[in-house]
């Protein structure tokens, strides 16, 4: 019982509290609504006053517009009068303008004709100027062409002169080459003929230990002429000279060849044993011994006149061991190096060598 009464009392308290809360909320809502109505009527009074003020302004503007409309109608009436006057003046102006238009048309036509004539004249002047410019350009081109032609003619004349000079020089060189070739052929032929006859003369002598090389030089061993390290001519050497030299000199001093032979050279050569100067003296003495015997009275193979001719062209040279003979293995052939060489030189041999060099260069 006690517990049930407590619950009923709590429920009543809650309900009273809720009722108070709802009353408070209702009061707040009424206050808000009243404030809103108050604000609305206050705003309505403000808007009404504004509308009254604007209505007064509109009335004033309407009165002003009425006055302006009356003034506008008065001005429009005056404007109509002015317009009528202007129309009358315009009619007069139209009449005058018609006359003026006719005059202007005539002037325009005349001016147009003048412009056409001026254009034609300007066109004609332009064409004339253009033709003058073309004529001046053509004249300039003609002058340039004439100058170029003159230069070309001068250059052609110079080239022609140079060509003529070169042609003359070429013809001269060709003539000179022909002459040199003829002389060379003659000299080569002479030397070849001399060598052939010397080979034949050596063969006719029927001796051994001597030979004729390609240059026509007679090479014979010094052992058949001299003892070792001696320069006294042995009897067997004298016999060799007696059997060969007459035929050798007969060929070189013949009427057919003597004019071409400028020199006969007797050379002595040694081996490489000993000093150069000692071998030089020995080689010189051996070559001199050969010449001394040929020019002596003991040697009767040639005439005294031939000996005199020989004295004019003979030369004796000692070569020591400056030109040794080598074996195939590269070692010095001591026996072959000890030799005496008799050779001849033609008058124009130096020239022949130069000509051969020139021809060789030309053929490259």
Q: What's the confidence (pLDDT) of residue 183?
A: 65
CB atoms within 10 A of CB 322: 13
Give per-residue pLDDT as tens, 228-283.
889 999 999 999 899 889 988 999 989 888 888 999 999 999 999 999 999 999 99
pLDDT interval class at 326 (50, 70, 90): very high
Q: What's the confidence (pLDDT) of residue 184?
A: 65
pTM, entire model: 0.48
CATH for the stretch 180-362: 3.30.1330.60
Give per-residue pLDDT as tens, 136-167.
888 898 888 888 988 888 888 988 888 888 88
pLDDT interval class at 43 (50, 70, 90): confident
Q: What is the dihedral of CA 178, 180, 182, 183, to 10 degrees?
A: 160
> Whose CA is closest to 338, among 271, 244, 278, 272?
271
* Ranges of each domain in the chain: 180-362
Q: What's the confidence (pLDDT) of residue 207?
A: 66
| 252's tokens | 């070189």
Give per-residue pLDDT as tens, 14-30.
778 888 888 888 899 88
Q: What's the confidence (pLDDT) of residue 187?
A: 63
Q: How far apart are CA 215 and CA 213, in angstroms?
A: 6
209: left (phi over 0), alpha (psi -120 to 50) or beta: left
Q: How far apart are CA 342 and CA 174, in angstroms?
A: 38
């Amino acid at each position: 019982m006690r517990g049930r009464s407590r619950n009923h009392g709590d429920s009543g308290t809650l309900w009273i509290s809720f009722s108070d809360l709802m009353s408070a909320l209702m009061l707040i809502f009424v206050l808000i609504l009243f404030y809103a109505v108050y604000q609305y009527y206050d705003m309505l009074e403000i808007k009404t006053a504004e509308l009254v003020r604007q209505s007064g302004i509109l009335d004033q503007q309407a009165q002003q517009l009425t006055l302006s409309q009356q003034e506008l109608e008065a001005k429009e009436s005056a404007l109509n009068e002015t317009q009528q006057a202007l129309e009358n003046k315009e009619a007069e102006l139209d009449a005058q303008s018609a006359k003026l238009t006719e005059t202007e048309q005539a002037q325009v036509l005349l001016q147009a004709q003048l412009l056409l004539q001026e254009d034609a004249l300007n066109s004609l002047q332009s064409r004339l100027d253009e033709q003058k410019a073309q004529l001046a350009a053509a004249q300039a081109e003609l002058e340039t062409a004439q100058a170029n032609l003159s230069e070309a003619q001068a250059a052609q004349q110079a080239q022609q002169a140079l060509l003529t000079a070169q042609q003359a020089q070429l013809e001269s060189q060709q003539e000179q080459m022909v002459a040199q070739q003829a002389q060379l052929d003659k000299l080569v032929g002479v030397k070849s003929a001399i060598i052939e006859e010397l080979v034949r003369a050596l063969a006719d002598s029927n001796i051994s230990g001597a030979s004729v090389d390609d240059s026509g030089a007679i090479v014979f061993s010094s052992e058949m002429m001299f003892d070792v390290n001696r320069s006294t001519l042995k009897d067997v050497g004298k016999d060799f000279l007696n059997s060969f030299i007459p035929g050798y000199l007969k060929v070189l001093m013949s009427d057919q060849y003597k004019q071409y032979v400028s020199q006969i050279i007797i050379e002595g050569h040694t081996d490489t044993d000993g000093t150069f100067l000692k071998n030089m003296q020995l080689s010189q003495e051996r070559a001199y011994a050969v010449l001394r015997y040929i020019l002596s009275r003991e040697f009767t193979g040639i005439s005294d006149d031939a000996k005199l001719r020989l004295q004019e062209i003979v030369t004796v040279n000692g070569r020591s061991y400056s030109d040794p003979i080598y074996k195939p293995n590269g070692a010095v052939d001591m026996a072959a190096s000890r030799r005496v060489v008799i050779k001849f030189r033609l008058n124009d041999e130096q020239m022949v060598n130069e000509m051969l060099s020139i021809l060789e260069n030309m053929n490259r």
